């Protein structure tokens, strides 16, 4: 939907969130009315070819970054080419115009070249340069001391001569690669983000007052990685990227014990039905699932211990699951039983109005709501 000049003057806006993951690109469009209301008016996804993105980095052959090469020369497609084709398909179905605010997130919270987030306590002398001191303090500590990092920060609180800051660092090369990708595709971004923060925004925008007063863990279970964000006193506290605990781990376990492929695993995840596996009872599939849950739980517990080790952390009261892995049958109950904490999914679609034509008369399924949640969180931003 293109907005007229009069509509924009009235305060109406359209924001598109594009969440680029290892498995698919998710697209959600939100209309913001002049009263602050939000309506989902479009949504779609496009599969990402296998191997196009590894650890959040677009895979390119050596020398593949030269955009001046002869476009007619035949060459084997690399990850960049495959991802570019997938994005083109999606955007041809859903073109954006100059009236649309566009926010993209990338799945780069773990592995080489990932995004780093931590909370630091910084002492500020009287009349000191706050910004310079915070950045110097961050750059003196690993892993923020890498010279190739771009560093930013947000002040969380101030008390006397001490400030608590959330510090974010990302590799220059990683940001340049993704910025160039979107530019070449003709997509002018209002902002670029990381998928866990899209999910966090979805949670913050739709959380109840009771949830905002509870210290929570937001667990994003993606195709290739897991990340955990912590919310305390109604605000972001910290984030931890995990090297394990992904959907791939679950798929590997199910393949080993049940002999099924990734497509059949995703059918289980998306339908929430253990009965789709031929030759095995639901009880047998459930037992295979629990073997994978143990490995996922080890990663979640590691993240929780990291949070609890911080000086200002409060007792964790609730866990929210997001990402494609949030709807794995039985996992929510398993985590609740192991941790003794109430466990739910981040499902902003329960609270945001959707145009009936987007997901049909029956609305969005739980599986799709978890997959689309980060993109919706991005699209709920208004600039």
Tens-digit pLDDT profile for residues 230-265: 999 988 888 888 777 888 888 999 999 999 998 898
Provide, rounded to the nearest whole percent, the portion of the chain with pLDDT above 70. 91
Mean pLDDT of 133-154: 78
- Cα separations (Å) of 288 from 138, 269, 281, 282, 333? 44, 14, 11, 10, 15
Q: What is the dihedral of CA 200, 204, 206, 207, to 10 degrees?
A: 110
The most confident of 57-66, 111-120, 308-317, by mean pLDDT = 308-317
What's the confidence (pLDDT) of residue 72? Answer: 60
What's the confidence (pLDDT) of residue 8? Answer: 67
What's the confidence (pLDDT) of residue 65? Answer: 52
Alpha-carbon span 279 to 281, nearest angstrom: 7
Query: Residue 175 pLDDT > 50, yes or no?
Result: yes
Mean pLDDT of 315-331: 89
What's the confidence (pLDDT) of residue 113? Answer: 47
- 88-127 pLDDT, tens per residue? 999 999 999 888 999 998 765 544 445 667 778 888 888 8
Alpha-carbon span 119 to 194, nearest angstrom: 17
Cβ count within 10 A of residue 47: 12
Token pair 């029956």 is found at: 362
Query: Residue 177 pLDDT > 90, yes or no?
Result: no
User: Residue 379 — left, alpha, or beta (φ > 0 → left; ψ -120 to 50 → alpha)?
Assistant: alpha
Q: Which CATH class is domain 226-345?
A: alpha beta
What's the confidence (pLDDT) of residue 71? Answer: 58
- 276-294 pLDDT, tens per residue? 888 899 899 889 888 889 9
What's the confidence (pLDDT) of residue 112? Answer: 45
Mean pLDDT of 197-204: 89
Homologous superfamily, domain 5-112+171-207+347-379 = ATPase, nucleotide binding domain (3.30.420.40)
Alpha-carbon span 102 to 190, nearest angstrom: 5
DSSP-derived letter for residue 327 is: G
Q: What is the largest CA-CA distance in the chain?
A: 72
What's the confidence (pLDDT) of residue 1? Answer: 65
Alpha-carbon span 376 to 15, nearest angstrom: 10
Mean pLDDT of 292-317: 90
């Amino acid at each position: 939907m293109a907005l007229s000049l009069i509509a924009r003057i009235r305060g109406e806006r359209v924001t598109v969130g594009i969440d680029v993951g290892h498995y698919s690109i998710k697209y959600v469009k939100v209309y913001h009315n002049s009263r602050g209301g939000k309506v989902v008016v479009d949504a779609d996804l496009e599969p990402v070819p296998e191997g196009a993105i590894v650890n959040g980095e677009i895979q390119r052959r050596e020398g593949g970054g030269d955009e001046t090469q002869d476009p007619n020369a035949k060459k084997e497609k690399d990850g960049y080419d495959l991802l570019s084709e997938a994005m083109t398909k999606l955007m041809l179905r859903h073109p954006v115009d100059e009236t649309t605010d566009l926010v993209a997130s990338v799945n780069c919270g773990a592995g080489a070249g990932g995004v780093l987030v931590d909370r630091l306590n910084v002492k500020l002398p009287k009349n000191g340069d706050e910004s310079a001191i915070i950045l110097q303090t961050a750059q003196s500590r690993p892993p923020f001391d890498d010279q190739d990092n771009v560093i930013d920060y947000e002040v969380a609180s101030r008390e006397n001569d001490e400030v608590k800051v959330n510090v974010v660092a990302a590799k220059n090369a990683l940001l340049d690669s993704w910025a160039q990708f979107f530019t070449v595709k003709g997509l002018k971004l209002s902002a670029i983000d990381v998928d866990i923060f899209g999910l966090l925004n979805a949670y913050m925008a739709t959380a109840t007052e009771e949830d905002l007063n509870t210290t929570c863990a937001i667990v994003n279970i993606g195709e290739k990685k897991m990340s955990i964000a912590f919310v305390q006193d109604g605000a972001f506290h910290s984030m931890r990227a995990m090297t394990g605990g992904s959907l791939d781990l679950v798929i590997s376990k199910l393949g080993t014990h049940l002999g099924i492929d990734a497509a059949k695993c995703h059918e289980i995840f998306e339908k929430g039905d253990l009965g789709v596996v031929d030759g095995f009872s639901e009880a047998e599939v459930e037992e295979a699932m629990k073997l994978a849950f143990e490995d996922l739980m080890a990663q979640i517990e590691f993240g929780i211990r990291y949070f609890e080790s911080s000086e200002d952390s409060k007792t964790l009261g609730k866990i929210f699951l997001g990402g494609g892995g949030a709807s794995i049958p039985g996992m929510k109950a398993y985590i609740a039983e192991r941790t003794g904490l109430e466990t739910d999914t981040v499902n902003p679609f329960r609270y945001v109005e959707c145009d009936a034509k987007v997901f049909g008369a029956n609305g969005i399924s739980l599986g799709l709501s978890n997959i689309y949640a980060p993109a919706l969180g991005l699209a709920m931003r208004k600039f």
